[in-house]
Chains A and B, each alone.
Chain A
Amino acid sequence: MTMVMDRPTPLVEVDSLKHVYGKSAGPGLVVLEDVNLTLNSGEIVGLLGRSGSGKSTLLRSIAGLITPTAGRVEIKDAAAGDTAQGVAMVFQTFALFPWLTVQKNVELGLEARGVHPDERRKRSLAAIDLIGLDGFENAYPKELSGGMRQRVGLARALVVQPSILLMDEPFSALDVLTAETLRTDLLDLWLEGRMPIRSILLVTHNIEEAVLMCDRILVFSSNPGRVIAEIKVELPQPRKRLDPAFRALVDDIYARMTARPKGPPAAVAAGLPGTGLGMALTHISTNELSGMIESLSNPPNNGSADLADMARELQLEADELIPLADTLQLLRFAEIDGDTVRLTAVARRYADSDVDERKQIFARQLLAYVPLAAHIRRVLDDRASHQAPASRFRDELEDFMSEPRAEETLDAIVSWGRYAEVFAFHDDEDRFSLDDPT
């Protein structure tokens, strides 16, 4: 919005994109469903969503790294009609070649295009200079700090002069201070128009980061990933985190991300959370659950808090905090209303109890509200041996969901069941038992 540029022209068109992971036989994992997106020149667009919402998959489809199952991705500005030409990508893990120096890493894309070595050198040095890496040309990545490594990743993407820069959670592997510096530097370069790029597409799970940087934010639902909201950010740059308008926007996005999908649940086989045995669980440690309950029940929260504030207090990213809040809600320890999370009476009792009472409360909630836990317990009770192979439940789960999701669900139930002493699990033999009866 602050770019000095002619009228925005579309650079990328994504039309009814769908992507399914997994084998054609059995329930595949639908990660993207009916996604439409237009990326215009002169804007930074953020893709925001929980993990598993397919935002990285969308980015990879645009980068040409994934061929989507259905739908169309069109790069308008492509020089030679090749998708890889108009875009360059920055990776969360930096993806630097440890055996190449900074300069060689930056030159990689130019080398692939057969640019002459002298030209390569000139352009890579210019990019290294632009990104604030001069003096490090001959260093190896392992000699650099995380922030410097990501600068190399950025220089490597910019040097091929893409029209669109794709960034896959570029700052999430960095510590808070470094991430902030890098973000600011990138924004400055962008606002001053010193980078050759015409648009940035940014995947993030950090809501504040999205509001800080983007002109437009697309919020994704998970399982399957759909665009559930499009938010225009019209705050002037530079944006301030403490600005009330900024805060309001962040709270609004939290509320949208925790909102329950309206209407009847769609096909469970597609990987939706579902109900009953087909309920997909997120593996959250019981320590985190009780930590959050305690933090909510203590002053200044006294039982309810704003999700964005919680995130700051607990130093959690949105995609860590939201599943945590969801699980509390599932176990009826909390209710989520908009952007506010409120403890239930049970949770308050839990917070005031000692270790053994806490386990008993947790066990009651677990058996009452997680059908899989009740099911496992029932099977163990019914059998004379009080034992059952885990594979049995794994198979049952896989009728409802994809294999990795079933595995995570089982991991969650094992760790919760162990904490609540509802049943025991023996990893070596992969079986459940009632060895430690309550």
Chain B
Amino acid sequence: MVFLTTDRMNAGLLARFARRRLTPNRFDLVAFLLLGGVAVVVLHGARQMNLPISHLPNAGVTLDPSRLPEYALRSTLRMFAAITASLLFTFVVATLAAKSRKAELIILPALDILQSIPVLGFMTFTLTFFMGLFPGNELGEELASIFMVFTAQAWNMAFSFYQSLRTLPDDLQDVSRQFGLSPWQRFIRLELPFATPALVWNTMMSMSGGWFFVVASEAMAVGNNNVVVPGIGSWLALATRRSDVMAVAWAVLAMAVVILLYDQLLFRPVVAWADKFRFEQTASEDVPESWFYDLLRRTRLLRRMTAPVARLARLMPRRLLPNLAAPVPGGAVTARWIDRIWIVLVAVGVAWSALTVVRYLAANISLRDTLTVFGLGFITLARVLVLIAIATVIWVPIGVWIGLRPAWSQRIQPLAQFLAAFPVNLLYPFAVSAIVAFSLDPNIWLSPLIILGTQWYIVFNVIAGASALPNDLKEAADMFRLRSWQKWRDFILPGIFPYYVTGALTASGGSWNASVVVEVVTWGKTTLHAAGLGAFIQEATTAGNFPRVALGMTVMSIFVILLNRTLWRPLYGYAADNLRLS
């Protein structure tokens, strides 16, 4: 029962976070403008490099099942490259934010906004940048593809690590200071272990989301740039173009095997291992289990494998990391001046960014376009909300039913988790061919695809919530013979609510991302359109129209941020304050 524990902990972190800021503040604006400025500069710079139009039609991808294992392996490697990059990013950026107040003021809102930007929107910028960096080189395409996955993974991991660093237990901090641990020792002995459970959970969520983008990023089309790197995603793209149902089925099978292996051989062992870092002084009853981890432990393979790492860590010089928390030499006056200089620098950066963004947009976008795009945003918003509502109505009763039956939930929980990791874009071709075959209205029937992959977050969170309902309350409810509606209203729904909000929040974020893929789909020669912001972004991307991509992304980020701040986080804060069953 992995989710029970990780989830509870995550809920705590998120709740603290949710209470912190509900409304956008000026630092959100600062970060927004800075990010916008950077994006414009990257675009400009890359364009000036005058990139050669890329070629490589299908770079050797063939629909030959015997090559599928190789493609699957390459997709997997890309995934791990991205997760490694995300971890490095997390350690550096989150640590900086946690230790330096100045950095924190910029990094936090920036992460928050980056989290809300539709990942596929990054495609345009990523591709342009990396192709410019390595013109005509396959490395550029690989890096672009990996970077895409990175943008889907890094932000929430960094957030989680930052949160952990800010909630280190006081007494352990005191011990570390009293014994004078060096920054490196502090990191290894205190900060990293304490942050591990939350980080593992978030990494796993990132991985699940990552598969979706690995598949999406292997065959990218931006204007005249057509990038194809060999992998399951490019296989799928080719199969779709050729309307080859058999090949799509092969891809689904390969992906299922890959995810099963990764779950059993990597993820579960890591979760079982991370359990020892849970900050609890009492032994817990339900400990996550993994047969593979037990096996490794029994063979002592793990110890032999980690021994060199431990030795390496010991060789680290004691004063390797700068002590960011240390007071500035020169006292309070110097510190105040450094603060002032920092504020001036940020202000200059913001002003310049604002100017750049405004000039860029003014030159390329009309007000009418902007209004249209906002209108499209509302269509997609309606789609996301309606589908979350439908998924809620369907899955909450089922999830509760399962959660209240331990024998069932133990079997179904891993399945839901598997389904959440499965890149649902592999299934789109089936759905599309069905819509084509029955000539249904794409505006309505493409919509369910948005929730197809993300509904599982609602399912497993509700199951976890229902199984966590305390036994004494269950017995009290039975003893007083609560009628079934009363029981739901006064006991079950409030009890699972915090879990449900976690699930719905994740599902909502994922759905916005999915809309970029889903609202325009192609099957062979047929292309189906649904009106919406996702379709707008995808079409602008395909046309290589940078200003319109930027506009679409900005509008979608605004929608996501406002939805989070006005709906999900207040719900979260309410749940954390009033409905905790502990």
Q: Is B329 interfacial (CB-CB < 8 Å)? A: no
Contact of B172 with A84 in the complex, beta carbons under 8 Å:
no
Closest 8 CB pairs of A and B: A95-B171, A109-B179, A99-B193, A112-B179, A112-B181, A99-B277, A95-B175, A93-B171
Contact of A65 with B193 in the complex, beta carbons under 8 Å:
no
**Complex: A65 Cα to B179 Cα, angstroms:** 10
Q: What bracket does the count of chain B residues touching chain A fall in? A: 20 to 34
Q: Is A226 interfacial (CB-CB < 8 Å)? A: no
Q: Is B44 interfacial (CB-CB < 8 Å)? A: no
Q: Is B340 interfacial (CB-CB < 8 Å)? A: no
> Chain B nearest CB: distance from A80 CB in Å?
11
Give the A interface residue count (CB, 8 A).
31
Tell me which of B24-32, B182-190, B380-388, B440-448 binds A.
B182-190
Tell me which of B235-243, B278-286, B296-304 binds A.
B278-286
**Which residues of B (350-390) have their CB < 8 Å from a CB of A?**
none
> Chain A nearest CB: distance from B544 CB in Å?
50
Interface 0/1 of B178-203, CB less than 8 Å to A: 11111001000110010000000000
21 contacts between A and B (CB under 8 A): A60-B174, A63-B178, A64-B178, A84-B177, A84-B178, A95-B169, A95-B171, A97-B172, A97-B175, A97-B189, A97-B193, A98-B276, A98-B277, A98-B281, A99-B277, A108-B189, A111-B189, A112-B182, A113-B180, A117-B314, A142-B283
Q: Is B411 interfacial (CB-CB < 8 Å)? A: no
Contact of A98 with B278 in the complex, beta carbons under 8 Å:
yes
**Which residues of A (58-106) have their CB < 8 Å from a CB of B?**
60, 63-65, 82, 84, 87-89, 91, 93-100
Q: Is B336 interfacial (CB-CB < 8 Å)? A: no
**Which residues of A (159-179) have their CB < 8 Å from a CB of B?**
160
**Complex: A100 Cα to B176 Cα, angstroms:** 14
Per a CB cutoff under 8 Å, which of A89, A97, A141 touches B178? A89
Chain A residues, CB < 8 A from B179 = 84, 88, 108-109, 112-113, 160
Chain B residues, CB < 8 A from A60 = 174
Contact of B178 with A88 in the complex, beta carbons under 8 Å:
yes
Per a CB cutoff under 8 Å, which of A65, A108, A143 touches B177? A65
Contact of A143 with B178 in the complex, beta carbons under 8 Å:
no
Q: Is B318 interfacial (CB-CB < 8 Å)? A: yes
Interface 0/1 of A257-296, CB less than 8 Å to B: 0000000000000000000000000000000000000000
**Residues of B bordering A, CB below 8 Å:** 169, 171-172, 174-175, 177-182, 185, 189-190, 193, 276-283, 314, 318
> Chain A nearest CB: distance from B19 CB in Å?
15
Chain B residues, CB < 8 A from A64 = 177-178
Q: Is A216 interfacial (CB-CB < 8 Å)? A: no
Chain B residues, CB < 8 A from A97 = 172, 175, 189-190, 193
> Chain A nearest CB: distance from B187 CB in Å?
13
**Residues of A bordering B, CB below 8 Å:** 60, 63-65, 82, 84, 87-89, 91, 93-100, 108-109, 111-114, 117, 140-143, 149, 160
**Complex: A88 Cα to B281 Cα, angstroms:** 22
Contact of B276 with A99 in the complex, beta carbons under 8 Å:
yes
Q: A108-B179, A112-B182, A160-B179 are in contact. Are A98 and B280 (CB under 8 A)?
A: yes
Which chain B residue shows the least CB distance to A85? B180
Chain A residues, CB < 8 A from B189 = 97, 100, 108, 111
**Complex: A427 Cα to B217 Cα, angstroms:** 50
> Chain A nearest CB: distance from B336 CB in Å?
13
Which chain B residue shows the least CB distance to A104? B189
Chain A residues, CB < 8 A from B278 = 98
Contact of A89 with B174 in the complex, beta carbons under 8 Å:
yes
Interface core residue of A94, A108, A149 (most chain B CB under 10 Å) = A108
Could you list 8 further interchain pairs (A-B, Cβ under 8 angstroms) beyond the known A91-B171, A98-B280, A141-B281? Answer: A60-B174, A64-B178, A84-B178, A108-B181, A108-B189, A111-B189, A112-B180, A160-B179
**Complex: A84 Cα to B182 Cα, angstroms:** 13
Per a CB cutoff under 8 Å, which of B171, B180, B277 touches A84? B180
Contact of B175 with A108 in the complex, beta carbons under 8 Å:
yes
Chain B residues, CB < 8 A from A117 = 314
Per a CB cutoff under 8 Å, which of B177, B181, B281 touches A142? B281
Interface core residue of A88, A91, A112, A160 (most chain B CB under 10 Å) = A112
Chain B residues, CB < 8 A from A109 = 179
Which chain A residue shows the least CB distance to B177? A65
Contact of B174 with A95 in the complex, beta carbons under 8 Å:
yes
Contact of A140 with B182 in the complex, beta carbons under 8 Å:
no
Contact of A65 with B190 in the complex, beta carbons under 8 Å:
no
> Chain B nearest CB: distance from A89 CB in Å?
5
Interface core residue of B175, B179, B281, B314 (most chain A CB under 10 Å) = B175
Chain A residues, CB < 8 A from B172 = 95, 97
Q: A89-B174, A91-B171, A99-B276 are in contact. Are A149 and B281 (CB under 8 A)?
A: yes
**Complex: A160 Cα to B178 Cα, angstroms:** 11
**Complex: A119 Cα to B563 Cα, angstroms:** 58
> Chain B nearest CB: distance from A319 CB in Å?
19
**Complex: A337 Cα to B387 Cα, angstroms:** 71
Which chain B residue shows the least CB distance to A117? B314
Contact of A91 with B185 in the complex, beta carbons under 8 Å:
no
**Complex: A197 Cα to B303 Cα, angstroms:** 37
Contact of A140 with B181 in the complex, beta carbons under 8 Å:
no
Contact of B175 with A142 in the complex, beta carbons under 8 Å:
no
Which chain A residue shows the least CB distance to B190? A97
**Complex: A87 Cα to B282 Cα, angstroms:** 29
Chain A residues, CB < 8 A from B174 = 60, 63, 65, 89, 91, 95
**Complex: A237 Cα to B472 Cα, angstroms:** 50
**Complex: A106 Cα to B157 Cα, angstroms:** 32
Chain A residues, CB < 8 A from B171 = 91, 93-95
**Complex: A98 Cα to B168 Cα, angstroms:** 13
**Complex: A95 Cα to B279 Cα, angstroms:** 11
Which chain B residue shows the least CB distance to A153? B175
**Complex: A280 Cα to B283 Cα, angstroms:** 41
> Chain B nearest CB: distance from A207 CB in Å?
25
Per a CB cutoff under 8 Å, which of A87, A89, A100, A143 touches B283? A143
Contact of A111 with B185 in the complex, beta carbons under 8 Å:
yes
Q: A111-B185, A112-B180, A112-B185 are in contact. Are A98 and B279 (CB under 8 A)?
A: yes
Contact of A140 with B185 in the complex, beta carbons under 8 Å:
no
Which chain B residue shows the least CB distance to A110? B179
Chain A residues, CB < 8 A from B280 = 98, 142
**Complex: A392 Cα to B558 Cα, angstroms:** 37
**Complex: A93 Cα to B174 Cα, angstroms:** 11
> Chain B nearest CB: distance from A239 CB in Å?
30
> Chain B nearest CB: distance from A433 CB in Å?
20
Chain B residues, CB < 8 A from A63 = 174, 178
**Complex: A94 Cα to B171 Cα, angstroms:** 8
Contact of A114 with B178 in the complex, beta carbons under 8 Å:
no
Chain B residues, CB < 8 A from A93 = 171
Chain B residues, CB < 8 A from A99 = 193, 276-277
Chain B residues, CB < 8 A from A143 = 283
**Complex: A264 Cα to B261 Cα, angstroms:** 77
> Chain B nearest CB: distance from A142 CB in Å?
5
Contact of A142 with B318 in the complex, beta carbons under 8 Å:
no
**Complex: A87 Cα to B171 Cα, angstroms:** 16
Which chain B residue shows the least CB distance to A82? B180
**Complex: A98 Cα to B182 Cα, angstroms:** 20
> Chain A nearest CB: distance from B14 CB in Å?
22
> Chain A nearest CB: distance from B90 CB in Å?
19
Which chain A residue shows the least CB distance to B174? A65
> Chain A nearest CB: distance from B273 CB in Å?
11
Which chain A residue shows the least CB distance to B194? A99
**Complex: A283 Cα to B3 Cα, angstroms:** 38
Chain B residues, CB < 8 A from A113 = 179-180
Chain B residues, CB < 8 A from A91 = 171, 174-175
Chain A residues, CB < 8 A from B281 = 94, 96, 98, 141-142, 149
**Complex: A87 Cα to B281 Cα, angstroms:** 26
> Chain B nearest CB: distance from A301 CB in Å?
37
Chain A residues, CB < 8 A from B279 = 98
Which chain A residue shows the least CB distance to B278? A98
